[in-house]
Amino acid sequence: MEVHKDEIYLHDEKHTRKKYSIGQKIEIEIEKIVFGGEGLGRVDGFSVFVPMSVPGDILEIEIISLKKSYGRGLITKIIRPSKDRIEDLNKITFEDFDGCDFGMLKYEKQLEYKNEILKEVLEKIGGINIENVQIEDILECDIKTNYRNKTAEPIYKKDGKIMTGFYSKNSHNIFSAKKNLLRSEVASKIIMEFLKIVNRYEGTNNEFKVYNEKTRTGFLKHFIVRNNEKNEVMIIVVVNKKSQYKSLIKVLERLYEENDEIKSVYISIKQEKDNVILGKEINHIFGSEYIEEEMEGIKFKIYPNSFFQVNKKQALKLYGKGIEYLGKSNDKTIVDAFSGTGTIAMILSKKVKKVIGIESVENSVNAGNLTVKENELKNVELINGKVEKVLPEILKKENVGGIIFDPPRKGIDEKTLRSVVKNRIDKVIYISCNPSTFARDCKVLTENGYRLEKVGAVDMFPQTAHIEIVAILKNVINKEI
C-alpha cells in the first residue's frame, strides 16, 4: 500500500492501525523533558516531542513533522497545566516566551530538570553508572533574568518601523520580544534609543534601508551591545555596505553624545557569506577602542570580537568549581586546552607553578597574551595551535600534573583523548557546554583507565535549556595503555 510522505501508520499492541498526519491535532500528556529542552509524550506508544511543554501538562498539540519512530508537535491549547508550569497560561510558544525555551518553567524546576537531563545523558551516552559518581546539584544563578552582558540582534522592518529581534527556532523569521528576559537592562535602554533615532528618518530621502537576506540588498544588519559590570557600553552596528555610512555615523554620534553609558562605538561592514555576525572590516568610530572587565583581580580589555563569558558571575562559579576539583597544585604545571583568550589560565595562574594555554584562534591568543603582559602574569604561556597537535608536544617536554579542557560544543577529538591516556595525566578537569559530547568523551577516558569522580553543573543561562558542566576524571592505573 502506498503511504503519503506526510503520514505514518503504526500498529499498537493490539495490532489496530493508527494514522497520524501533518496538521492533525491530538491530545497528549507530557512525561519528561529530554536533552535539548523539549517535552516528550506518547500516544498509543508513538513518541511525540513538544517544545515549550512541561512534564505533567495535558495538551492539545498540532503535529508539524513525522519520522518513522517519532513526531513533533506544537501546543495549540493547554488542557491541564503541570504544577511545574508558570501561572501565565496564555504563553505557549517560543515567541510568547521571548525566545526562552525554558521560560515556561518555574525557576526551581528549571534547575531540577537540568539535573535530571544531565544524569540521563551520562547514563545513556556515556554508559556511566551514576551510582558510582558524585553528582553535585546545579549551582543556581542569583540573577534570573537580564544577565547577558552581550546581545546581538538582527535588524528588520515591521509596519514601516525599524526594529531589532530574534530568530524563531529553526527559521530565519525574526520576531521582537515583548519583554526581553535575557539582555541586560542597559542594553535594552541603548537599543531603544538607537531605534528611536533611526526611525526619525522614516519617510525622508535618508530613510534607512534594512538588509534583506534573500536579495542581499539593504544596509542595516545587526545591532550589538556589550557591557561590563559597571554598565559601560560598547555598541557595534553591522551593515551590508557603505551606502548610508555617513548618515549612520550621524545617528551614532547623537547616540554617543546623549547616553553617558556608551564608551565605545564601532561599525562593521559584513559582506562575507557565512554565519558569523561581524564582518572582517571593523571600524572604530567614537570613544575608547575597548571596554574593560575584571575577574579575580585580572583586567580584561574587551574589543568587538573578543570572547568573554556572557554571564560573568556564573562563569566565576564555573571556573572556581573547576579549580576546586583540581585541588592543590601550586607545585605543578597545568595545561588549559581550548584556552580562548586565556581567562581560565590567568585565574589559575595564582594557584599553580605554571599554566600553558592552547588555542587555535590566533586573534584570541594575541588578545590573551596582551592581557598576560598588562597584568604581569609571569607563569602563563599561551600557545597558538590545534590542541591535538600541540598537546602531545607539550606532554613530551613538560611534567604536566593536570589538564583543564574547555572545548567547543563538538567536544574533544579522539587523538587528544588518546594522548591523555598514553601519558597517564593524573587529573583531567572537563568543562563543557554540551552534555552529549561530554558524556561521549568521558566514555573514551573511563574505558581507558580513568574514573569519573565528580560532576557539577552551573546554571549559566537561566530561562534556557543550556547546561554548563564541570567534572573531574582521575587516572586509576599507572602503566601506559
- Spell out the alpha helix ranges (H) of 106-154: 107-124
Alpha-carbon distance 184 to 234, whole Å? 13
> Which residues, including other chains, have CB under 8 Å from residue 343's CB and lie 6 or more apart?
295, 300, 308, 309, 315, 319
Q: Residue 402: which of 361, 430, 381 has the closest Cα?
A: 430
d(CA 274, CA 242): 19
Beta strands (DSSP E) in 6-84 are: 7-11, 17-21, 25-33, 39-43, 46-50, 58-66, 70-80
In terms of DSSP bridges, do strands 281-287 and 329-337 run parallel, antiparallel, or are they unpaired?
A: unpaired
Instruction: Report the C-alpha gap between 196 and 188 in whole angstroms.
Output: 12
Please say if 433 is a catalytic residue.
yes
Listed residue (35, 27, 113) closest to 73, CA to CA = 27
Phi, psi (5° rounding) for residue 27?
A: -100, 140
Main-chain phi, psi angles of 346, to 5 degrees: -70, -40
CB atoms within 10 A of CB 318: 25
**CA 353 – CA 131 distance, rounded (Å):** 35
Catalytic residues: 433
